[in-house]
Copies of this chain bind each other. A is one copy, B any other.
Amino acid sequence: MKREIAVLTVGDELLNGERADTNTAAIARRLAPHGLRLRESLTVADVESEIEEALLELAGRRDVVIVTGGLGATVDDLTARVAARAFKRHLVLSDEALRLIREHFRRTGREMHPRNEKQALLPQKAILIPNPVGSAPGFILPQGEKELYFLPGVPAEMLAMLEATVLPRLRVGGEGAVARERIFKILGLSEPAIEEMVAGAGLPVGVTVAFGVDFPLVHLKLRCSRADADSLLDRSDLIVRRLFGENLVAMGDETLAGNVARMLVGMGLTLALAESCTGGLIAAELTELPGASAFLERGAVTYADSAKIAWLKVPASLIAKEGAVSEACARAMARGVRRSAGSDFGLAVTGIAGPDGGSPLKPVGTVFLAVAGESGETVLPCHFGGDRGEIRRQSVCLALDLLRRALIGRIAGGA
């Protein structure tokens, strides 16, 4: 039996613009490898009547409801109380929950606040879900064939409890045919262009196509739920790789930055960065994953000309003549940071992210990317549209892609 799963997230902050809900996507990501899919996700405010109505509706039309948020120690944390009322149970103090809360504070060496005792009040006959990270215990409410899981809203706590308790229980339920999916991340082609290319490529029958956008990347998703899904998707994989060639910049869960990092580590090569308008974003992305110290020697965020001159040895005369946003400066930055770090590659970005600083000759969105290696430098002049954030995003992706192409060239060249 394929169970239908819904997520309910609770919190004013998710509806007043203060915070975007990341729990739904995080839950979906953990469910997917087990062939479990969300059917819907609902968000309501910290209002008793709204939470109650949402619980009853979702429990009515789905088999499993995962609720996050509202289990904290403060007055606007209402979920346990409302759940008890919705399903006509008493709210009782759970000794086991209280013990776990006390244990949490002892373990973390922090003082327990009397208000934290409130977190041990659970609906009668609820099954406790221990919280390995924080103080709020979660709980399961079985309703006939259905199950409601209540987890805290704090992402790290929610995920730890999902992994430790919820996922194992959901898997035991046993799912039927698993829908497989492969994701191809493509840079430099539009969604309709990609769709037309795929439509004419002769993908095997049974493989369906969907799209997503992670600006400026387009995600092409191939899905198959047949018994021979793996072999059909393997065949599709070959077709898609041939079709998109160098425009295919990452696959599956991997990001473009993750792919570049993996290539560098695998090839035993080192990198140094010189960033102007991207302001450290490339460094931040490359160091998000563990192990970045294996390849990243150093990075410079050179906003001021003096920094470009001192650290990157860009000649002052070059900046005076060509400007800091120029092909020559990008080239000198990449070469300079590579030389100062003694790294295999240098990657540089200089440009105008706006909204100010543009001129008729070099309008906002003018960005120069450069990669330096042992055989010299390659510069890519770009003219990006969009706002400051979008110009920075495109600069990050195209710079990483420029390096990726240089690394592929090294393989192709037999180096």
Which of A's residues lie within 8 Å of B, judged by CB? Answer: 11-22, 24-32, 37-46, 50, 54, 72-76, 108, 110, 113, 115-116, 153-156, 181, 183, 190-193, 195-196, 209-215, 219, 221, 273, 275, 278-284, 286-288, 290-293, 296-304, 306-307, 310-311, 340-342, 354-357, 385-390
CB <8 Å contact, A113 and B19: no
Q: Is the interface of A mostly helix, strand, loop or mixed?
A: mixed
CB <8 Å contact, A38 and B16: yes
Which of B75, B156, B196, B297 makes the CB contact (< 8 A) with A390? B156
Which residue from chain B places its CB closest to the CB of A302 in the assembled complex? Answer: B298
Q: Which of A15, A292, A296 has the most CB of B within 10 A?
A: A15
CB <8 Å contact, B40 and A28: no
CB <8 Å contact, B298 and A273: no
Which residue from chain B places its CB closest to the CB of A304 in the assembled complex? Answer: B297
In the complex, which residues of chain B have a beta carbon less than 8 angstroms from the beta carbon of A181?
Answer: 16
Known contacts: A28-B17, A280-B301. The answer to whether A46 contacts B210 by CB under 8 A is: yes
Cα separation A93 to B154 with both chains bound (whole Å): 47
Which of B25, B76, B286, B356 makes the CB contact (< 8 A) with A19? B25
In the complex, which residues of chain B have a beta carbon less than 8 angstroms from the beta carbon of A46?
Answer: 210
Smallest beta-carbon distance A28→chain B, Å? 3
Q: Which of A26, A154, A195, A278 has the most CB of B within 10 A?
A: A195
Smallest beta-carbon distance A337→chain B, Å? 10
CB <8 Å contact, A342 and B306: yes
Smallest beta-carbon distance A178→chain B, Å? 13
CB <8 Å contact, A283 and B301: yes
Smallest beta-carbon distance A74→chain B, Å? 5
Known contacts: A18-B25, A196-B115, A304-B298. The answer to whether A213 contacts B154 by CB under 8 A is: yes
Which of B44, B210, B293, B300 makes the CB contact (< 8 A) with A300? B300
CB <8 Å contact, B154 and A215: yes
Smallest beta-carbon distance A279→chain B, Å? 3
Cα separation A257 to B44 with both chains bound (whole Å): 30
Cα separation A286 to B279 with both chains bound (whole Å): 8
| A–B Cβ pairs within 8 angstroms, 22 of them | A15-B37, A16-B28, A16-B37, A19-B212, A20-B22, A21-B25, A41-B42, A41-B43, A73-B192, A75-B195, A76-B209, A110-B190, A115-B192, A154-B215, A275-B283, A279-B284, A279-B296, A279-B299, A283-B283, A290-B355, A296-B304, A297-B307
Cα separation A402 to B255 with both chains bound (whole Å): 33
Which residue from chain B places its CB closest to the CB of A307 in the assembled complex? Answer: B298
CB <8 Å contact, A281 and B280: yes
Cα separation A13 to B210 with both chains bound (whole Å): 9
Cα separation A219 to B68 with both chains bound (whole Å): 18
In the complex, which residues of chain B have a beta carbon less than 8 angstroms from the beta carbon of A279?
Answer: 283-284, 286-288, 292, 296, 299
Cα separation A22 to B213 with both chains bound (whole Å): 13
Known contacts: A287-B301, A297-B303. The answer to whether A17 contacts B39 by CB under 8 A is: no
Known contacts: A73-B192, A74-B191, A341-B306. The answer to whether A38 contacts B13 by CB under 8 A is: no
CB <8 Å contact, A301 and B303: no
In the complex, which residues of chain B have a beta carbon less than 8 angstroms from the beta carbon of A195?
Answer: 73-75, 115
Smallest beta-carbon distance A343→chain B, Å? 9
Which residue from chain B places its CB closest to the CB of A30 in the assembled complex? Answer: B17
Which of B15, B30, B191 makes the CB contact (< 8 A) with A40? B15
Cα separation A341 to B300 with both chains bound (whole Å): 12
Which of B156, B281, B385 makes the CB contact (< 8 A) with A284? B281
In the complex, which residues of chain B have a beta carbon less than 8 angstroms from the beta carbon of A75?
Answer: 195, 209
In the complex, which residues of chain B have a beta carbon less than 8 angstroms from the beta carbon of A45?
Answer: 38-40
Smallest beta-carbon distance A293→chain B, Å? 5
Cα separation A311 to B181 with both chains bound (whole Å): 46
